[in-house]
Structure 1
Amino acid sequence: MVRYRLLMLTSTPIIITLLALIALTMYWTVMYTWQSALMNVRADLAVAHHSMELLQKEQRMRLTALTESYDFQHIMRKHENDLIDWVKKQTGHYDLDFVVIHPASALGEFSKENRQLLMAGKEQTFFQTLEAYQLYQLNPDLPAMAQIPLLNEQGVMSRGLVSRSLIPIFNKEGQLQWIVDGGMLLNNSTSLVDRIRDLVYASDTLPEGSIGTVTLFMDDIRVSTNVPLDSKRLNGRAIGTRVSKDVHDAVLVRGEHWVDRAFVYDDWYVSAYEPLKNKEGDIIGMLYTGYLEWPMIKIYLTNIVELGFGIVAVLLLSGVIVYRGARDLFRPIEKMHQVVSAVQLGLDRRIGCMNLTDGHELQILGRQFDTMLDQLHQRNEAIKQAALELEDKVNDRTQSLHEKTHELEQHIKLLNQARTKLVSSEKLAALGELTAGIAHEINNPTAVILGNVELLQFELGAETERVREELDAIHEQIDRIRNITRSLLQYSRQGGVQDEVTWQHLNPLVEESLTLVRTGTKKMDVEIHAELNARCCVEVNRHQLLQVLVNLQMNGVHAMDDAGVLEVKTEDWLDENDQPIGAKVIIADHGCGIPAENMQRIFDPFFTTRRSGTGLGLSVSQGIITGIGGEITVTSTQGHGATFTIFLPEKATSGSKLTLELESIC
């Protein structure tokens, strides 16, 4: 209806604009929110990194305070032998997990880089992983403190991640005398990560319901963390769990920073990771900061829903305004539509007054439409009157025309019948005379051949066995010639012959035809490949089918210029339900093929492309096969050979008579 079309035209721009605004708003919001979240967590990681540096600096300052204390200096000068034991007792006073002092002779226990810095008088603080026996050497309590059960795995990790500081002490002669070694064990150091978390995530800096977390990794195992085991109930700590494979590959393998969403133990967090390296620059762990992703997404979805409600409210309000503004336009158009519908149903209606001003376009259109309806009504009445008069005249003329047409049809029918009988009689007479002459001419040399063969058999005597197969083949072909000539003579006398159709196994017939073809191609370079797989018997005339098979096989040999491979296959002919309904023979050559322009003519009588051919072989073969309800099809690719397929029904067509049509000429 026009009403809805106008509403669509006026509302579509508004809807498209609002949808575009929604899409742009969502895109910008997502991008801004996500980029802001990544920037925030990257900044959080930077704060955590700086906090770790401050803690290490504070650790080094504590050791420096120890070395500068009066007691340390006094014991080192007066009671040097007691210095090692006294330093070990100071661990608790300086809030460190271990403090030991090594004599200069133990310098070889440190790495090359550590030795160089110590000899240069430089203090150093670094991260290091130590085995249990190394921890024991620093503090007998450390191995027990470092043990972490691996959750979801069988075993306990005994290595420890430490923050270690070394401070060299020189004597008056400038020679290295002592090395103060102290630091913190980071395994199970929950107070340390909580302290860093409080620095990174101050109160009211995260969305409601979110939690900020900080983790220290040794390799990919959380050795100190405030990530909860259950992010919904905030129970326990996920110490002893491993990081995800993506983060492991990026940070620990490739040494990259990871800033993205990551699955942290049991939930998704907006996360940032950076590698922790030892003094030699090898990656030994990771520092992580992150917070729960869902509270941020929840806030974002809430904003989107609120925006959606606002947009829908604006859309409804604008739709109401558009509808009310267009209502005065809809009513006249709807009235015009009602009048048009009534006129289509055959009612005599007019638009009339539409309560619009005289100069309104729709009022002018309504008056013009009423005028057109009046003129149309007058013309329809005139047409009806003329139609009645014309109908009477047509009825009179039609009656006379029907009578004349009926007489003409009868004459044409009689003429066609007479012409058909005449043509058929002339063809049958000529064909009968020709077949009778051909049959008599064939019988004379056949009798001579038979007599000579019998004479040869008599003269050869016992030697006949050497050529028994060839002589039998000659006798069999002479019998075949006699059958053909007998049929021709019967056809010339009676105008047709009822062929002897019997049940035959197809494979023996094909083998017999192959024997004849091989005999006739002994001097040719022709290979014959046969695959005889047909199991279904068929109802055929044995001699005629043999003639068709030999004809098609010899045509294939000639198409290959008497050299090549001839393929002959038999198989069952199946219907759409894979049930046998007959058998088929496939004869394929690898010769020159048949040109496309000749494909429609190869079964025409007297059409041939060979100088020595008569053009009757394929025509007669098709007549034989179609006479029993079968079919011959051909496919060919020029230059690659041709394939003829003979479809033989299991039962020949009832009452069919196979007109020989000069088969023996082939």
Structure 2
Amino acid sequence: MVRYRLLLLTSVPIVITLLALIALTMYWTVMYTWQNALMNVRADLAVAHHSMELLQKEQRMRLGSLTGSYQFQTLLRKDPSQLIDWVKRQAGEYDLDFVVIHPASALGEFPKANRQLLQKGQEQTFFERLAAHELNYLHSDLPARAQIPLLSEKTLVSDGLISRSLIPIFNQTGDLQWIVDGGILLNNSTQLVDRIRDLVYASDTLPEGSIGTVTLFMSDIRVSTNVPLDSSQLNGRAVGTRVSDDVKASVLKQGEMWVDRAFVYDDWYVSAYEPLKDYNGNIIGMLYTGYLEWPMIKIYLTNIVELGAGILIVLLISGGVVYRGARDLFRPIEKMHQVVSAIQLGLDRRIGSLDLTRGHELQILGKQFDTMLDQLHQRNEAIKQASVQLEDKVQRRTQSLSEKTEELEQHIKLLNQARSKLVSNEKLAALGELTAGIAHEINNPTAVILGNVELMQLELGNETERVREELEAIHEQIDRIRNITRSLLQYSRQGGVQDEVTWQHLNPIVEESLTLVRSGTKKFDVEIHTALNARCSVEVNRHQMLQVLVNLQMNGIHAMDDRGVLHVCTEDWLDASGQPIGAMVKIIDHGCGISEEHIERIFNPFYTTRRSGTGLGLSVSQGIVSGIGGEIIVESEIGKGSVFTVYLPEKANSDDKMAVDLETI
């Protein structure tokens, strides 16, 4: 019956909503609680790391106070022979486990990384793992204090983990005179980890019953910790125990930070580990922070039970309220349901009178529903007609808008191309005028130098043998200057008066360029493979095109370190319909390749990555090709090589045609 269905329909959503709320609450609570726990322990580890750095800085400051003391400076200047013994006796005065001063002659005993910093006058503090005999060299008490018995293995570890500081002392002439070496032993030390724990886990920051712990590891062995041997009784310290295999593999072997739950000696802790590195960046241990997991889980379970009980009570109360409030609605709604069902079957029915008072909401609703049914049929017909008309209008408007959009995009593209071309031409013109002046100014003194050198050789005759190497070096450098100025002059002539542009077949020009390149690379181990398949003639300046091709081929040879295989191919340049519109030549090398960062700049004037290059070759080549309406495209991959493709139109573009194109845009 409707009344039961209505009760079911009103109750089921509430039940489903509450169940979903419980599930989502549990899920998000678990996720939030756990993620929050991991974030907290990660932050704890960061605080511990920072605290460790501050403690090391404090250690270095104490050692600096020692070197700055009056007695140290007095002995350093007046009686250096007693300085070594006096320094060793000062360890306790400055809360250090050892202090040693080494003469500058002992610098070679330190690792290379330490020596470089000491010679630069830089103080340094770092962690280091030392064997027993190395500890004995620093202080005779350290080997015994460093010994740690492994609880479950019945063996004894004699190595020591120390925090070490080195301070260089220079004399008045700036030469290294002494090296002050001091630090603390971390094995079996409780003061350091307890200070860090008190900084990280202040009172009332952890759940009730939980404990915060900090540990220093030498390799995978706990050498200094406040993790208890019995987590339930909080007794003892777990010194001499090892870390779990998962943490060891992740932190010590892979050098990664570990933030997760981990089994710490006898219980599960929310833990964070990070590698501890020495002066060379080698992992020698770990720094750990964490707290007991169970008190956090206990609080979470308690909250879930309380939440579930509260939701159950709300469900019972809301069910009772819904049932009582729905009784007066059952009969009218059942009638409405019958009318709706009949209408769904295609019958023409109306609700009519519901035997309710005149102003009753359901009675008014029934009349309104009947009115709506009357209007529904009329509006359906109107809507159908309007939808047909609307579809036609939308289709026409969409087609028109699409056409306008495409036209606008094309105009914008042409305008951007024209603007870029104008800006580039302005820059090249200004730079060309400047480089021409520079080149001519350099040529004049160069000619004077060359003439005087040749005159000296002529006048000295056989006497020039004593300075033959120097004179040859002068000639080489003069030739280099002349090559640079020649490139500058060629660059400055771009856009000026050029040789005649004529119809040429591309293949003979390529073959002539290959002849020039082969003659200049006979001493190189280079093979040149060709595939000349272009048939279309193009309008070019033969001399300038030879310059472009030779420059690109020599660049490819240099990119392969003057050995390897260079491929040169020519093909017809075809448009989208397959019709030839020009010719193209590809120069393919298998050299080092060009990075994306450099490939955007290789055509800029004076940009080069070669020590002997001028940075004008590619810029001049690009100017020559673009001057006839062509383009140079570069594709490159680091370590595999580069492909330079020169596209040459069948009909060279002139400046007049460019002006007409700009006016059209």
- TM-score, normalised to structure 1, is 0.49
Which TM-score applies when normalising by structure 2?
Answer: 0.49
